[in-house]
Structure 1
Amino acid sequence: MTAAAKLRFEIDGMSCAGCAGRAERALQAMPGQTEATVNLAAASGYVTLTTATADDIRQTLKTAGYPAREDVIVLDIADMSCASCVARVEQALTAQPGVIAAQVNLASETATIRTLRGAVSAAELAHLVTDSGYAATPRRGDTPAGSETDKITPARNAFALAAVLTLPVFVLEMGGHMIPAFHHWVHMNIGVQTSWTLQFVLTTLVMLWPGQVFYRKGIPLLWRRTPDMNSLVALGSLAAWGYSTVALFAPALLPEGARNVYFEAAAVIVTLILMGRWLEARAKGHTGDAIRKLVGLQAQTARVERHGALIELPVDEVHVGDTLHLRPGEKVAVDGEVLTGTSHIDESMISGEPLPVAKGTGDTVIAGTINGTGALTFRATGVGSDTMLARIIAMVEQAQGAKLPVQSLVDRIVLIFVPVVMGVALLALAGWLLFGPEPRLAHALVAAVSVLIIACPCAMGLATPTSIMVGTGRAAEMGVLFRKGEALQQLDEITTVAFDKTGTLTAGRPELVLLAPASGFDADTVLRLAAAVESQSEHPIALAVERAALSKDLDLPQATNFTAIEGHGVTACVGEQTVLIGNPRLMIRENVDFSPLSGTAQAAAAKGETPFFVAIDGQLAGVFSVADPIKPSARPALQALEAAGIEVAMITGDNATTAAAIAAELGIRNVQADVLPEGKADAVRKLQAKGPVAFVGDGINDAPALAVAETGIAIGTGTDVAIESADVVLVSGDPAGVVNALDVSIATMKNIRQNLFWAFIYNIALIPVAAGLFYPLLGWQLSPMLGAGAMALSSVFVLTNALRLRRISPAMPITSQE
């Protein structure tokens, strides 16, 4: 920051003059400022900056305990054609006072800017970018101002028009070189001067009509000393056109041996690059397919109960608490809770799980899913941007706009790339003029124009963002949401995956796994009476017993005189019988002999289950055992991770016996049990000594570990706190999603490396050829037309390679967790 800038911004958390004073003193102590004041009434601060930045203000206030309020502004930007455009826009934005960080995405043509609230407006930032040469508008609402499909037709039409005008030029000039008889025919019937004049007219039309974009955008940027890809094309084609125009209208200005025309080169350069941009627009149109599919899942209308009548309303007019009716085959309009009816709903488009999920009273339904053959009524619990589908779309868009760490090298290179290319073109021109064979001027022109045209920062700029867009979009279709695009690279580098147990590897809901009746008792009778008693309790174990009885369609009688005995169990009367349910201490207290089934209970406890006894009228009736069942896909998922060379660990707050039993069943060797919530983060740090760690969890107590791990993976069926702390969310709650997330990450990073390798090697290999370095040894001198074709195809190659990610199949199928 070269000059002092006075910045106003909003501050959070101040409740008194003391708070304002502390915030003010913190700002005044911050290096790089000359004046700082805080206004409590307006909840704002004013700082005159010299060398400090908006991020310095943010960090200072965060440390002081009074964080600055932040905004995220999205701009839609037109006219960016290459990575150097991206770098310049980012440079202009980050230099603006009040901007904390800015990320520009060439593939989606957007800029995401994090600012201090109140310091700068979206309109001001859009004006700044527009002044830099790239038309920008603030994003309104949640949808882009335009889509890539809107650009395909104009790009195709521009190429088609240029091709029609260029074809006669190419045939007249190159046809004569390839077919001597045609050259003689042109010379005899049309004449060289007439042929050159016709080429001049058609080439000029190509440049001024379909090709005007290169000059309209490239020349002003040259004057601003911020040249981009358009500038290179403009310089190259103008050089060929200008030289040819002099040769046609003022030949005396050129040496006799150099009086040649290169109109076909100028026309073909423009035409081929327009073709490349058309193909690029077509390919880029597919990179956002995933988002368009997700948006297409949203229902447009809903049948809602209002004032005693059933009416059809636009989905935007549905409110939380409304009762909605869902017919067979209809799309669920908003998130809700089923009130009446039963059905099966296809949730594959959200979770990736192929089988329809049974729904009944109390179950949740998700916007965008498809109802089966049953009819349901449900109460709206999430509408608009609060539905799961809307949150998924927002997560995917955020991830697609991310910039990976691997991109930082590219950014540093492309910022100076175009000026360096222009320097190389000048050196090539000078070298040929000084040392080249005759006609030197013609050779020098071909070399300089070829260097300008062959250089392609477009491919560099598209290499990373297109792969991110396609990879994260495909992952979303598989039920894996990358909340942060950076997680794509981080997940590719992990060496250990640590899992929480309850709700992550297990269902998180106890189920009855053992019912052993005592001699003289029937299992169903014991279960029926026990469930009648437990139906009076909300304890998870009681609910497990009740569910087991209902699953067998047992009729539960009414229990009376229910009493909970703290630390022991419960008792109640069912008809004329007294039922006692609890641990050994309760049996001892009530003088019930439980020795006949004590061995069974001990064996269940050794497996990590929770056993308890049932007595009827003072006599042992049976032993029950409940356990949190392991999710069906947990073991195959862990085996797949280990097969990929990744160490698996389990970190749980459960006791060592239960943890050891679950770990043994799953084949996990590294187990840390009895870990308090705050200790989970420390456990992750210990694992990080071996390398980067991914932690998978679902609860509030997992949030610290999710935040500390290089990659936090939240089970989508878990708490909002866990999801907000995570980098990746598995919508279905299936551990197989971890394997799929890793597979997508590996495939996407491999794709990015391929793209970057191609983009860099292309330039490293072909720029020297274009400059003529191999001419003395091998006689190689690249034609500007071939350079233009290669340049156009390089971007198309990168985009086509990225689109291969759409074909990624799930490494493991998602299964029902019911």
Structure 2
Amino acid sequence: GLPTAENKETSQLEEPHHPHEHSHVESNVKKTISRLVISLVLLLVANFVPMNELLSLGLFVVAYLVAGYDVVWRAIKNMFNGQLFDENFLMTIATISAFYIQEYPEAVAVMLFYQVGEIFQGVAVNRSRRSIADLMDIRPDYANLKLADGNTKSVAPDTIRVGDTIVIRPGEKVPLDGKIITGISSMDTSALTGESVPRSVTVKDSVLSGFINKNGLIEVEVEKLFSESTVTKILDLVENASSRKAPTENFITKFARYYTPAVVIMALVLAIVPPLVFPGATFNEWIYRASIFLVISCPCALVVSIPVGFFGGIGSASQKGILVKGSNFLEGLNDIKYVIMDKTGTLTKGRFEITDIEPENGWDKQQLLELAAYAETHSSHPIAESIKEKYKEKIDENRITEYNEISGHGIQVKVDGKEVLAGNAKLMQEFNISFRDSKEIGTIIYLAVAKKYVGHILIADAIKEDAAAGIALMKEKGVEHVIMLTGDSKAVGEAVAKKLGIDEFYAELLPQDKVEKMEEIMARKGPKEKVAFVGDGINDTPVLARSDIGIAMGGLGSDAAIEAADIVIMDDKPSKIGTVMQVAKDTRRIVWQNIILALAVKGFFLILGAVGIATMWEAVFADVGVTVIAVLNAMRVLKK
């Protein structure tokens, strides 16, 4: 059975997850079904076996109570709690009035039907919860703790402390966030990111709980407690998502609050007025019509299908690696007109890589890269690191002699006995080497061998592969202004904005300037329009919190940003913003289809009931049928 309209959404969608939950729900369903079967048998006996009147009435009453004691009990309990009008109350009044006019079989049958509908509904809601739970099947059951003697012991993940070493074998889930200390492997990150391609990891790389280790044995030093790990956070987010209601949901709850009393008053009028006014009208007939009117008008379908619709939308987004922290944010996505994006880490990868190698004077790219790698061997600057990463070969240090770092200019080094210079334009000028000055955006390393210029290498923060497509997709989904904020220089900002088709950009901003810019843009928007901010860093937290909808890049983003955001994109892809906007559109469409369907069917049957064409059977079908159709419709969004 279902709780009252007021607390229905919360209790149904937020029971805590227990390992026994599915079996608990299934045993409940089994219990209800066996009750209904007993009730049905009693009903058939009372109706078809000849016996004295009192005995058959007794059987009808027992059949009624077996089928619907919980509904009647909830109606009584709620009356004392001051929640007079809900569907339990409507069903109780309608069936008791059927008893009053001696339509015993109908009274019992209506209750039976109603309960069958409740079972359907419960199962459907559970399916949508389970699809989210399956997605969340990333909660690890154990962790292999490495002991002092080198052996491992399987322990519960929440007993492990920061700094402990855990061993993750091929095929196991990563139980806690940490850094790899030995081993290489590839990770299936699809549960968190929706990303199908495995990610290869090696020593010093971070792994997140919820990843699945594919092929290598790795040892990981734990960096976060289980209670703070990625998996636990995600599960909490999804579990609590349904408590933040969308305006449509709130509207329906309010609607039910006024709608039900109105219906009860109309039913009373229907029962009392016609027999007093029309000649030949009997109380019995009009009480029966009023009961039908009550059963049809029960707002179940509305009250259930809307939360289920949003729940399906949140589930659908999470299957795609996007966490939406509440149905209010999912609905809000439909009204976004301004998207403000941070550059580093959001539109760009946030790390240096070689984006261009330009050799000259008869050298080729590989030779130039080799020279640069040898020149930068002893430097630990991020730029040097990115060159060594690209060069992949093993560096033979015997080839290097006389290493000399010239501060603020670059490096002078002998490789194979030849003098190599690698550094900025000042270094070239210092040694009077004529070189071709490059105007590209990024860090440029000029190289010369034996005082002769041989080319340059360009290192920049590379733009994410799907950034341009992501911005195009947002505009297609209705965003009118895409604005980029960056702390970088104006030249870099302009180059990125041009490349990605961004409408306006503001460069050289400090974190506090971002909030100011945000305020300016918030002041521009219309009353119904919303501003979203997309960022990934600690310094984005205040802006994420200030925006209408804060979207964080969750794969590499900072914890503070993920906490402050309303939507988290687990694989850091800007194009997912367009995806989640599409999910929001689909969800809104399905929710409104359900509202219109329910109101139309109800209206039609109410008229039939009042005119005396519809009987109790049609009434119950109208209520139960619409609820089931609405729930099934809501499940569609999960398949998209």
Global fold match (TM > 0.5)? yes
Check whether the contact 1:291–1:397 (CA below 8 A) recurs between aligned residues.
no
Kindly indicate whether residue 310 of structure 2 is the aligned counterpart of residue 468 of structure 1. yes
The TM-score, its normalising length taken from structure 1, stands at: 0.72
2:378 aligned counterpart, secondary structure: coil
Distance (Å, rounded) in 2 between the aligned partners of 1:151 and 1:234: 22
Check whether the contact 1:148–1:284 (CA below 8 A) recurs between aligned residues.
no
Aligned to 1:673: 507
Aligned to 1:659: 493
Judging changes above 3 Å, is the alpha-carbon distance between structure 1 residues 277 and 341 closer, same or farther for their aligned structure 2 residues?
A: same
Structure 1 letter corresponding to 2:567: V
Structure 1 letter corresponding to 2:458: S
Kindly indicate whether residue 535 of structure 2 is the aligned counterpart of residue 697 of structure 1. yes
Distance (Å, rounded) in 2 between the aligned partners of 1:357 and 1:627: 23
Deviation sequence 1:161-183 (CA, Å, 0-9, x none): 3333334567x5xxxxxxxxxxx
Judging changes above 3 Å, is the alpha-carbon distance between structure 1 residues 301 and 239 closer, same or farther for their aligned structure 2 residues?
A: same
Aligned to 2:581: 742
Q: How does 1:88-167 map to 2 (within 5 A)?
A: 105-108=10-13, 148-167=25-44
Aligned to 2:118: 277
Aligned to 1:292: 133
Deviation sequence 1:123-158 (CA, Å, 0-9, x none): xxxxxxxxxxxxxxxx79999899644532223223
Deviation sequence 1:39-86 (CA, Å, 0-9, x none): xxxxxxxxxxxxxxxxxxxxxxxxxxxxxxxxxxxxxxxx75342455
Kindly indicate whether residue 605 of structure 2 is the aligned counterpart of residue 683 of structure 1. no
Distance (Å, rounded) in 2 between the aligned partners of 1:502 and 1:782: 65
Check whether the contact 2:168–2:213 (CA below 8 A) recurs between aligned residues.
yes
| Superposition deviation, residue 109 in structure 1 | 5.6
| Superposition deviation, residue 196 in structure 1 | 5.7
Aligned to 1:235: 93
289-298 or 725-734: bigger deviation = 289-298
Kindly indicate whether residue 211 of structure 2 is the aligned counterpart of residue 211 of structure 1. no
Aligned to 2:569: 730
Structure 1 letter corresponding to 2:219: T
Distance (Å, rounded) in 1 between the aligned partners of 2:598 and 2:12: 15
Judging changes above 3 Å, is the alpha-carbon distance between structure 1 residues 632 and 268 closer, same or farther for their aligned structure 2 residues?
A: same
Judging changes above 3 Å, is the alpha-carbon distance between structure 1 residues 653 and 420 closer, same or farther for their aligned structure 2 residues?
A: same
Matching residue within 592, 597, 612 for 2:445 = 612
Matching residue within 461, 479, 488 for 1:646 = 479
| Superposition deviation, residue 199 in structure 1 | 4.8
Aligned to 1:345: 187
Check whether the contact 1:504–1:698 (CA below 8 A) recurs between aligned residues.
yes
Aligned to 1:533: 375
| Superposition deviation, residue 220 in structure 1 | 3.9
Figure out how many residues of one structure are paired with residues of the other and give that number: 631
Check whether the contact 1:236–1:453 (CA below 8 A) recurs between aligned residues.
yes
Structure 1 runs not aligned, ≥5 long: 1-78, 87-103, 111-138, 173-185, 245-261, 809-818
The TM-score, its normalising length taken from structure 2, stands at: 0.90
Structure 2 letter corresponding to 1:284: V
Structure 2 letter corresponding to 1:721: A
Distance (Å, rounded) in 1 between the aligned partners of 2:459 and 2:7: 62
Distance (Å, rounded) in 2 between the aligned partners of 1:344 and 1:806: 29
Identity among equivalent positions (%) equals 27
Distance (Å, rounded) in 2 between the aligned partners of 1:718 and 1:314: 29
Aligned to 2:596: 757
Judging changes above 3 Å, is the alpha-carbon distance between structure 1 residues 309 and 627 closer, same or farther for their aligned structure 2 residues?
A: closer
Structure 2 runs not aligned, ≥5 long: none
Aligned to 2:57: 200
Aligned to 2:177: 335
Aligned to 1:719: 558
Deviation sequence 1:78-126 (CA, Å, 0-9, x none): x75342455xxxxxxxxxxxxxxxxx6253266xxxxxxxxxxxxxxxx
659-668 or 488-497: bigger deviation = 659-668
Structure 2 letter corresponding to 1:212: Y
Aligned to 1:29: none
* Superposition RMSD in Å: 2.9
Aligned to 2:634: 802
1:472 aligned counterpart, secondary structure: helix
Distance (Å, rounded) in 2 between the aligned partners of 1:791 and 1:151: 22
Judging changes above 3 Å, is the alpha-carbon distance between structure 1 residues 548 and 220 closer, same or farther for their aligned structure 2 residues?
A: closer
Check whether the contact 2:358–2:365 (CA below 8 A) recurs between aligned residues.
yes
2:589 aligned counterpart, secondary structure: helix
Kindly indicate whether residue 418 of structure 2 is the aligned counterpart of residue 580 of structure 1. no
Judging changes above 3 Å, is the alpha-carbon distance between structure 1 residues 394 and 308 closer, same or farther for their aligned structure 2 residues?
A: same
Aligned to 1:323: 165
Distance (Å, rounded) in 2 between the aligned partners of 1:741 and 1:438: 62
| Superposition deviation, residue 575 in structure 1 | 6.2
Judging changes above 3 Å, is the alpha-carbon distance between structure 1 residues 482 and 541 closer, same or farther for their aligned structure 2 residues?
A: same
Check whether the contact 1:303–1:310 (CA below 8 A) recurs between aligned residues.
no
Structure 2 letter corresponding to 1:787: A
Aligned to 2:547: 709
Matching residue within 424, 445, 457 for 1:624 = 457
| Superposition deviation, residue 561 in structure 1 | 4.3
2:557 aligned counterpart, secondary structure: coil
Instruction: Determine which structure has greater relative contact order: mean sequence separation of CA pairs < 8 Å that are 6+ residues apart, divided by chain length.
Output: 2
Matching residue within 343, 359, 375 for 2:217 = 375
Distance (Å, rounded) in 2 between the aligned partners of 1:319 and 1:429: 69
1:361 aligned counterpart, secondary structure: coil
Deviation sequence 1:640-659 (CA, Å, 0-9, x none): 22222323332222223222
